[in-house]
């Protein structure tokens, strides 16, 4: 049991030896994305090959480095040499790598970059793996990972340890300055701790953007016999998985944040409410809690301070609405996830009626560096009203899918084009969707908007939890708004009339528009008006933001709605029966791939000459569109609905 | 004495907890559907929204759950409020078009045409008054189930309720008269809850007068053995009248 | 009944109690049987309508038995754009059931889930919590065949 600072320091020393051992170390990204791509096979292959070849090396698991497109990721650390980071690995490459290491050769296949030094964000120091002038005749001219365009614009604070440490090892967490912040807090008063968080300007990263320090202050000032700290890990936005990544890659950062929060407001109980759909995250955080308890960092009289605190994990049961604070509280109390009127706010009357602070995973992960480096250090990063960094899940029609952490103020254009690498060269980006079902779509010409809570609000969307979905011209914006509304309808708790009945009506109208059943443009006015009422009168954040996708697509892409209504035409080629597919003879190279893929045998032609689609046989399944490498297949107005077919 | 401003007029808050209570106390009419003064406020129908002008987060808020605090200024019938109310009534008409309370509201708000067609006319507006009444007065037999468009009110598994005592609180409180109960020989049937209860015979005249579980519950509550529930209203009145007369002699 | 009492005894702390109890019941029985739910109400004094509400509100709980293998189709934003509808249609065709239903031989339950968080592998499904990505019609049919023939795959 850790009783004082000396022991924490000793543990850090030990941790550094584990993190940077004297043997050769292989690490494999074993978070959910990695596993889904085959990381377990790679891990086992490395182990087997090492055993067979008798190489004195170890293999350890690590979290997600963010480059999900390149999973499984493998890291090779030879003492005294820069770390080598590989992507898109498989069992064969794993075996080859081990053999190359055995022979002292540099394995270059799938090498993403090198790492010469690891930054310790919490302490503001860095650990040199090898000198920059390291020359072996082989590693000259190799690109550093930090110069890879995916990583260049990033600044990792919340995800500082993800992909760098073994999430199952508390010693490695301590090696990177872990639990120093909590120790520092115990030497301060709770008011001083809160002041530091206020100074930092940290705002809730779950989407609400409420100033974290102020929230803690309200809870601190409410006198009550008991108080609670909750971590909202019910990440439900489709396309967003930042929180899962932090829980799977650096669980102790959340535990430490919650310890600080508990100390600051005077709570003795923390609850992590995690989606049941994240079994690996639940397992990882549960193990981390056990480790912290064993070391005496959770429990009674922690570090002889008189402060007692423990954390339990409660799994969600499949309801998106439980990401809303009062619904989350209701579900912990054993009720349906129905939101409750606010005021009173959870900081006044929360769980079981007691003052409760609820913060998102990413918010908690930011606490430790802020405490150690100071609120003003954090406040220097970002914009005037949005401080620090934000983690985004950059997904969709973008070359580099993954998790990126950037300083607030970075433009969406930079994230999508520089970090993300843009989209398929034959296609144009049409819009970027942020904020999940509560957010909106930003058209391409507006992508210079900086990532900032208020600027995104002005543009008709929200920061949200960090989902950033890139959509190219093959996305129909009417269909996108229909998709989000159907999501919201299913997830609505059903308590209040505007959300339950209103979203149903909006969904009906959007479905009719997508099926070409609407001919009156005035339906768009009704759609708008109903959307505004739902926004104005719904009981909770889910209902209040449910109309955002519709309102933003109506605002920025009204022409698509009008085309669906007036011309019964879906230019993106998505809405069934509202388009025909034709091959552009100028772009078609006659490769015949589409013809082979067509399940209806509707495409014919001679190799080397433009092919044609038989409209009688075509069922618009779009398999040909997805197969074509030249973007030569277009959606044109449906002849049967009065449009003319022209190539 | 804390005051708030309603439609530009200063009004004392007094003992009232919510803005709706202050308005009602001052004779200012605000339509409601899911509100009942004897039951916990629910805030679900959103008909009672008012516009916060100052002293709180600007925008619309449900007055039945909005705490009345000094310095709050609201408007009960601003254009924004009326637009929202009309749309909510339209949504309600879309599910329960024949409900008198909704038709009256529609007339008040000047709605002459329904905007949302109804696919199938449901009779329940999901106001939850029956659930809250059953919780407060009855035996906690009712609850909500399912979610979103599937949400409904009822008894678990839609089968005979072991908790229902037949107190009729739900029947009386339903704003759209959707809950039906009737006597069938020696049984009391509450159709909506698929529940059948035995009826108690009056110890005086022998007529059935109340469901047995209801009588049992009341008797359990009274520790005074003299005060037993075993007579129908008519016989009870006769009994007490006789007692009064004999006392007067 | 004794097992149920043990489960209830294990979860004394009221925070999350209902979820913990229902989850254990579901793990044991593969669903939440009506009589067990009624027993929970009696033993914990939590009103039955409240428990019934919880069991029907959350998609994680089921009052009907699930199949041997649970197939979850991801209907997140990226999967939707990349063809989750096609996966839905294929599975409904192959299994002869709709989403939310279980095959008559109790082998498969088909359900939808909103985002498994593996967007770079879209479109994605999970079978018994194991994730399969980058699917098309053929790959899906092959996968289904492997599960039909017993056991999971690599």
Q: Are strands B73-75 and B49-54 parallel, antiparallel or unpaired?
A: antiparallel
pLDDT more than 90, % of chain A? 86
**Between chains, do A467 and C77 touch, taking CB under 8 Å as contact?**
yes
Kindly calculate the radius of gyration of chain C based on its CA atoms and give it in whole angstroms. 18
- pLDDT for residue C154: 41
Phi/psi of residue A458, each to 5°?
-60, -35
3-class DSSP assignment, residue A136: coil
Taking the CA of residue A277 and the nearest CA in chain B, the distance in Å comes to 19
Taking the CA of residue A401 and the nearest CA in chain C, the distance in Å comes to 6
Kindly calculate the radius of gyration of chain A based on its CA atoms and give it in whole angstroms. 27
Minimum Cα–Cα distance from C48: chain B residue: B156
Q: Is C129 on the interface with B (CB under 8 A)?
A: no
What is the CB neighbour count within 10 angstroms for residue A459?
A: 19
Q: For CA atoms A129, A134, A135, A141, give the dihedral sign.
A: positive
Taking the CA of residue A408 and the nearest CA in chain C, the distance in Å comes to 23
Query: Which pLDDT band holds residue B222 (cuts at 50, 70, 90)?
Result: confident
**Between chains, do C48 and B146 touch, taking CB under 8 Å as contact?**
no
**Between chains, do B44 and A502 touch, taking CB under 8 Å as contact?**
no
- Domain assignment present for residue B186? The answer is yes
Question: Which of B143, B147, B162 comes nearest C52 by C-beta?
Answer: B143
Taking the CA of residue A486 and the nearest CA in chain B, the distance in Å comes to 11
Q: What is the DSSP letter of A391?
A: E
Question: Which of B65, B83, B92 comes nearest A533 by C-beta?
Answer: B83
- Domain assignment present for residue B235? The answer is yes
Query: Which pLDDT band holds residue A2 (cuts at 50, 70, 90)?
Result: low
Minimum Cα–Cα distance from A475: chain C residue: C81
Q: What is the DSSP letter of A620?
A: -
Taking the CA of residue C33 and the nearest CA in chain B, the distance in Å comes to 11
Q: Report the topology of domain C69-148.
A: Glutaredoxin (3.40.30)
Where is the domain boundary, B76, B108, B140? B108
**Between chains, do A533 and B87 touch, taking CB under 8 Å as contact?**
yes
Instruction: Please report, for chain C, the start and end positions of each structural domain, with discontinuous segments joined by +.
Output: 2-57, 69-148
* Domain coverage including residue B141: 129-248
Q: Are residues B148 and B220 both part of a single domain?
A: yes
Does position A645 have pLDDT exceeding 50, yes or no? no
Does position A590 have pLDDT exceeding 60, yes or no? yes
The CA distances from residue A615 to A355, A589, A600, in Å, are 65, 20, 11
**Between chains, do B163 and C48 touch, taking CB under 8 Å as contact?**
yes
Q: Give A87-145 pLDDT, tens digit per residue.
A: 999 999 999 999 999 998 899 999 999 999 999 999 999 999 986 565 454 556 688 99
Taking the CA of residue A500 and the nearest CA in chain B, the distance in Å comes to 6
Name beta bridge partners: A387: A382
Residues 6+ apart with CB under 8 A from A347: A215, A218, A219, A222, A355, A356, A357
Taking the CA of residue C64 and the nearest CA in chain B, the distance in Å comes to 12
Q: Please return the burial class of B150, using the count of CB atoms within 10 Å of its CB with bins 0-12, 13-18 and 19+.
A: exposed
Q: Give A176-203 pLDDT, tens digit per residue.
A: 999 999 999 999 999 999 999 999 999 9
Phi/psi of residue A368, each to 5°?
-55, -50
Q: Are strands B152-154 and B181-184 parallel, antiparallel or unpaired?
A: unpaired
- Domain assignment present for residue B159? The answer is yes
Please report, in tens digits, the pLDDT of each residue of chain C (154 residues total). Answer: 788 899 999 998 899 999 999 999 999 999 999 999 999 999 999 999 999 999 999 999 999 999 999 999 999 888 988 888 889 999 999 999 999 899 999 999 999 888 887 888 889 999 988 888 888 888 899 999 999 887 554 4
**Between chains, do C47 and B163 touch, taking CB under 8 Å as contact?**
yes
Q: What is the DSSP letter of C123?
A: S
A605 is written with which tokens?
């032609």
Smallest Cα–Cα separation from A262: which of A302, A313, A316?
A: A302
Question: Which of C46, C60, C78 comes nearest A469 by C-beta?
Answer: C78
Domain(s) of CATH 3.10.20.600: residues in chain A: 389-472
Domain A580-645 listed as CATH 3.30.420.40: no
Q: Among A72-76, A537-541, B122-126, which is the least confidently predicted range?
A: B122-126
**Between chains, do C50 and B143 touch, taking CB under 8 Å as contact?**
yes
CA angle A212, A348, A193 (to 5 degrees): 35
- Domain assignment present for residue B113? The answer is no
Does position A489 have pLDDT exceeding 60, yes or no? yes
Q: Is B163 on the interface with C (CB under 8 A)?
A: yes
For residues B125 and B178, give the distance between their C-alpha atoms in angstroms, rounded to a whole number: 9
Q: Report the topology of domain A477-567.
A: de novo design (two linked rop proteins) (1.20.1440)
Whose tokens are 């708000």? That residue is B109
Q: Is B171 on the interface with C (CB under 8 A)?
A: no
Residues 6+ apart with CB under 8 A from C48: B156, B162, B163, C37, C38, C41
Minimum Cα–Cα distance from A509: chain B residue: B116
For residues A254 and A268, give the distance between their C-alpha atoms in angstroms, rounded to a whole number: 16
Q: Is A542 on the interface with B (CB under 8 A)?
A: no
Smallest Cα–Cα separation from B54: which of B113, B122, B8?
A: B8
Is the bond preceding A343 in cis, omega lying within 30 degrees of 0?
Answer: yes
Does position A553 have pLDDT exceeding 60, yes or no? yes
- pLDDT for residue A133: 61
Smallest Cα–Cα separation from A255: which of A209, A213, A310?
A: A310
CA angle A393, B148, C111 (to 5 degrees): 60
Measure CA A461 to chain center. Answer: 17
Domain(s) of CATH 1.20.1440.230: residues in chain A: 477-567
For residues A109 and A105, give the distance between their C-alpha atoms in angstroms, rounded to a whole number: 12
The whole-number average pLDDT for the span A531-548 is: 96
The full DSSP string for chain B is: --EEEETTEEEE-TT--BHHHHHHHTT-----SS--TTS-----S-TTEEEEEESS-SEEEETTTSB--TT-EEESS-HHHHHHHHHHHHHHHTT-TT-HHHHHHHHHTT--S--S--SS--S-----HHHHHHHHTS-S--EEES-GGG-EEESGGGS--SS-----HHHHH-TT----EEEETTEEEEGGGTEEEEEEEPTTT--EEEEHHHHHHHHHH---TTS---S-HHHHHHHHHHHHHHHH-
Query: Which pLDDT band holds residue A167 (cuts at 50, 70, 90)?
Result: very high
Domain A389-472 listed as CATH 3.10.20.600: yes
- Domain assignment present for residue B11? The answer is yes
| Chain C interface test: which of A36, A396, A467 (most C C-beta within 10 Å) | A36
Kindly calculate the radius of gyration of chain B based on its CA atoms and give it in whole angstroms. 23
Average pLDDT, chain B: 93
A365 is written with which tokens?
């992960």
Smallest Cα–Cα separation from A95: which of A107, A82, A77, A81?
A: A107
Minimum Cα–Cα distance from A491: chain B residue: B148
Question: Which of C14, C19, C59 comes nearest A315 by C-beta?
Answer: C19
Q: Is A342 on the interface with B (CB under 8 A)?
A: no
Domain(s) of CATH 3.40.30.10: residues in chain A: 20-144
**Between chains, do B163 and C50 touch, taking CB under 8 Å as contact?**
no
Taking the CA of residue B62 and the nearest CA in chain A, the distance in Å comes to 8
Residues 6+ apart with CB under 8 A from A466: A205, A240, A242, A362, A390, A391, A392, A393
Buried b / exposed e over C20-44, threshold 16 CB at 10 Å, is: bbbbbbbeeebbbbeebbbbbbeeb
**Subunits adjacent to chain A (3 or more Cβ pairs under 8 Å):** B, C
CA angle A277, A282, A286 (to 5 degrees): 170
Q: What is the DSSP letter of A628?
A: -
Q: Chain B partners of C47 at a C-beta cutoff of 8 Å?
A: 140, 143, 163
Question: Higher-confidence residue: A414 or C150?
Answer: A414
Q: Are A396 and A470 in contact (CB under 8 A)?
A: yes
Question: Which of C17, C78, C117 comes nearest A396 by C-beta?
Answer: C78
- pLDDT for residue A386: 97
What is the CB neighbour count within 10 angstroms for residue B240?
A: 11
pLDDT more than 90, % of chain B? 81
CATH number of A179-377: 3.40.50.11540
For residues B137 and A498, give the distance between their C-alpha atoms in angstroms, rounded to a whole number: 29
Q: Give B52-67 pLDDT, tens digit per residue.
A: 999 999 999 999 999 9
3-class DSSP assignment, residue A314: strand
3-class DSSP assignment, residue A416: helix
Q: Chain C partners of A471 at a C-beta cutoff of 8 Å?
A: 81
Domain(s) of CATH 3.40.50.11540: residues in chain A: 179-377
Does position A641 have pLDDT exceeding 70, yes or no? no
SS (H, E, C) A434-486: ECHHHCEEEEHHHCCCECCHHHHHHCCCCCCCCEEEEEECCCCHHHHHHHHHH
Smallest Cα–Cα separation from A578: which of A634, A635, A496?
A: A635
Q: Is B136 on the interface with C (CB under 8 A)?
A: no
A26 is written with which tokens?
């292989």
Smallest Cα–Cα separation from A190: which of A229, A160, A162?
A: A229
Question: Which of C13, C50, C59 comes nearest A319 by C-beta?
Answer: C59
Q: Give how many domains chain B has, as a whole number.
A: 2
Q: Are residues B36 and B141 both part of a single domain?
A: no
Whose tokens are 């070359």? That residue is A399
Query: Which pLDDT band holds residue A643 (cuts at 50, 70, 90)?
Result: very low
- Domain assignment present for residue B140? The answer is yes
**Subunits adjacent to chain C (3 or more Cβ pairs under 8 Å):** A, B
Minimum Cα–Cα distance from B157: chain C residue: C52
- ipTM summary value: 0.92
**Between chains, do A314 and C16 touch, taking CB under 8 Å as contact?**
yes
**Between chains, do B65 and A341 touch, taking CB under 8 Å as contact?**
yes
- pLDDT for residue A646: 42
Smallest Cα–Cα separation from B124: which of B156, B153, B164?
A: B153
CATH number of A20-144: 3.40.30.10
- pLDDT for residue A381: 97
Q: Are residues B142 and B99 both part of a single domain?
A: no
For residues A167 and A169, give the distance between their C-alpha atoms in angstroms, rounded to a whole number: 5
Query: Which pLDDT band holds residue A443 (cuts at 50, 70, 90)?
Result: very high
Q: Give A308-354 pLDDT, tens digit per residue.
A: 999 999 999 999 999 999 999 999 999 999 999 998 999 999 999 99
Question: Which of C37, C47, C53 comes nearest B145 by C-beta?
Answer: C53
Does position A626 have pLDDT exceeding 90, yes or no? no
Name beta bridge partners: A72: none
Q: Are B56 and B63 in contact (CB under 8 A)?
A: no
Q: What pTM, to 2 d.p., does this model score? A: 0.94
Query: Which pLDDT band holds residue A407 (cuts at 50, 70, 90)?
Result: very high
For residues A34 and A447, give the distance between their C-alpha atoms in angstroms, rounded to a whole number: 30
Q: Are A418 and A153 in contact (CB under 8 A)?
A: yes
Residues 6+ apart with CB under 8 A from A432: A412, A416, A441, A442, A444, A447, A468, A469, A470, A471
Interface of C with B in 48-87 (CB under 8 A): 48-53, 56-57
Taking the CA of residue C34 and the nearest CA in chain B, the distance in Å comes to 8
For residues A376 and A378, give the distance between their C-alpha atoms in angstroms, rounded to a whole number: 5
């Amino acid at each position: 049991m850790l009783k004082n600072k000396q022991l924490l320091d000793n543990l850090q020393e030990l941790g550094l030896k584990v993190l940077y051992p004297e043997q050769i170390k292989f690490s494999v990204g074993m978070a959910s994305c990695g596993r889904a791509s085959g990381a377990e096979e790679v891990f086992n292959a490395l182990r087997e090959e090492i055993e067979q070849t008798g190489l004195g090396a170890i293999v350890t698991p690590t979290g997600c480095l963010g480059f999900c497109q390149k999973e499984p990721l493998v890291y090779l650390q030879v003492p005294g040499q820069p770390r080598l980071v590989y992507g898109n690995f498989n069992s064969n490459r794993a075996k080859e790598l081990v053999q190359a290491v055995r022979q002292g050769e540099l394995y270059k296949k799938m090498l993403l970059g090198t790492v010469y030094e690891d930054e310790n964000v919490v302490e503001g120091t860095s650990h040199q793996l090898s000198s920059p002038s390291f020359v072996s005749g082989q590693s000259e001219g190799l690109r550093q990972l930090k110069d890879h365009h995916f990583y260049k614009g990033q600044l990792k604070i919340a995800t500082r340890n993800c992909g760098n440490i073994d999430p199952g090892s508390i010693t490695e967490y301590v090696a990177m300055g872990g639990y120093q912040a909590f120790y520092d807090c115990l030497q301060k008063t709770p008011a001083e701790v809160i002041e530091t968080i206020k100074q930092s300007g940290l705002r809730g990263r779950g989407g609400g953007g409420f100033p974290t320090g102020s929230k803690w202050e309200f809870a601190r000032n409410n006198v009550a016999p008991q108080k609670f700290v909750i971590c909202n890990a019910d990440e439900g936005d489709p396309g967003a998985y930042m929180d899962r990544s932090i829980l799977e890659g650096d669980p102790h950062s959340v535990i430490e944040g919650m310890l600080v929060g508990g100390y600051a407001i005077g709570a003795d109980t923390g609850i992590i409410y995690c989606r049941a759909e994240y079994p690996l995250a639940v397992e990882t955080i549960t193990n981390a809690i056990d480790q912290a308890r064993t070391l005496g960092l959770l429990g009674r009289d922690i570090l002889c301070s008189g402060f007692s605190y423990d954390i339990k994990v409660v799994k969600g049961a499949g309801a998106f609405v439980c990401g809303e604070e009062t619904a989350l509280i209701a579900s912990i109390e054993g009720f349906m996830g129905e939101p409750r009127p606010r005021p009173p706010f959870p900081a006044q009357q929360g769980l079981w009626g007691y003052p409760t602070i609820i913060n998102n995973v990413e918010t908690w992960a930011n606490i430790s560096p802020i405490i150690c480096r100071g609120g003003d250090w954090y406040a220097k990063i970002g914009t005037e009203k949005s401080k620090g960094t934000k983690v985004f899940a950059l997904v969709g029609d973008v070359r580099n899918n993954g998790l990126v952490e950037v300083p607030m103020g970075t433009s969406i254009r930079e994230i999508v084009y520089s970090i993300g690498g843009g989209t398929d060269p034959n296609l144009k980006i049409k819009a970027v969707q942020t904020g999940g079902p509560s957010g909106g779509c930003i058209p391409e010409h507006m992508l210079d908007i900086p990532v900032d809570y208020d600027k995104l609000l002005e543009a008709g969307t929200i920061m949200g939890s960090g989902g950033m979905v890139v959509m190219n011209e093959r996305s129909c914006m009417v269909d996108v708004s229909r998709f989000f509304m159907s999501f919201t309808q299913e997830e609505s708790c059903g308590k209040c009339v505007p959300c339950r009945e209103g979203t149903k009506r909006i969904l009906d109208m959007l479905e009719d528009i997508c099926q070409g059943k609407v001919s009156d443009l005035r339906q768009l006015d009704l759609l708008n008006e109903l959307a505004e009422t739902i926004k104005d009168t719904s009981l909770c954040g889910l209902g209040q933001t449910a109309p955002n996708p519709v309102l933003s697509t109506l605002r920025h892409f009204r022409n698509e709605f009008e085309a669906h209504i007036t011309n019964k035409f879906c230019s993106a080629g998505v809405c069934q029966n509202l388009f025909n597919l034709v091959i552009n003879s100028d772009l078609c190279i006659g490769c015949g791939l589409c013809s082979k893929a067509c399940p209806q045998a509707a495409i014919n032609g001679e190799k080397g000459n433009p092919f044609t689609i038989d409209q009688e046989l075509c069922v618009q399944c779009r398999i040909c569109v997805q197969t074509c490498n030249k973007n030569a297949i277009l959606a044109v107005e449906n002849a049967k609905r009065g449009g003319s077919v022209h190539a | 004495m804390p005051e708030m401003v309603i439609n530009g007029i200063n009004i004392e808050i007094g003992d009232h907890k919510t803005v709706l209570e202050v308005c009602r106390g001052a004779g200012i009419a605000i339509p409601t559907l899911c509100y009942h003064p004897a039951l916990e406020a629910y805030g679900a129908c959103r008909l009672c929204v008012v516009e916060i002008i100052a002293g709180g987060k600007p925008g619309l808020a449900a007055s039945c759950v909005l705490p009345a605090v000094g310095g709050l200024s609201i408007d009960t019938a601003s254009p924004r409020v009326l637009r929202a109310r009309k749309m909510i009534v339209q949504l309600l008409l879309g599910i329960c078009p024949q409900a008198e309370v909704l038709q009256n509201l529609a007339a008040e708000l000047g709605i002459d045409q329904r905007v949302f067609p109804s696919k199938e006319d449901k009779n329940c507006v999901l106001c939850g008054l029956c659930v809250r009444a059953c919780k407060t007065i009855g035996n906690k037999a009712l609850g909500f189930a399912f979610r979103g468009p599937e949400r409904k009110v009822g008894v678990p598994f839609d089968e005979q309720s072991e908790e229902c005592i037949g107190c009729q609180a739900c029947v009386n409180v339903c704003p759209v008269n959707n809950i039906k109960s009737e006597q069938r020989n020696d049984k009391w049937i509450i159709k909506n809850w698929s529940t059948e209860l035995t009826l108690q015979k009056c110890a005086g005249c022998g007529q059935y007068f109340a469901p047995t579980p209801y009588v049992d519950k009341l008797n359990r509550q009274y520790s005074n053995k003299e005060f037993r529930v075993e007579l129908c209203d008519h016989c009870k009145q006769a009994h007490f009248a006789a007692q009064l007369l004999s006392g007067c002699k | 009944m004794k097992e149920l009492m043990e489960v209830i005894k294990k979860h004394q702390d009221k925070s999350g109690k209902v979820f913990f109890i229902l989850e254990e019941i579901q793990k044991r029985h593969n669903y939440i049987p009506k009589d067990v739910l009624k027993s929970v109400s009696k033993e914990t004094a939590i009103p039955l309508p409240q428990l019934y509400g919880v069991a029907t509100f959350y998609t994680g709980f089921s009052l009907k038995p699930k199949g041997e293998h649970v197939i979850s189709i991801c209907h997140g934003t990226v999967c939707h754009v990349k063809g989750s509808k096609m996966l839905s249609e294929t599975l409904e065709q192959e299994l002869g059931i709709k989403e939310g239903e279980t095959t008559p031989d109790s082998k498969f339950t088909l359900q939808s889930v909103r985002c498994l968080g593996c967007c770079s592998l879209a479109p994605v499904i999970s079978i018994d919590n194991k994730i399969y990505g980058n699917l098309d019609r053929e790959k899906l049919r092959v996968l289904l065949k492997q599960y039909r023939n017993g056991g999971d795959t690599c």
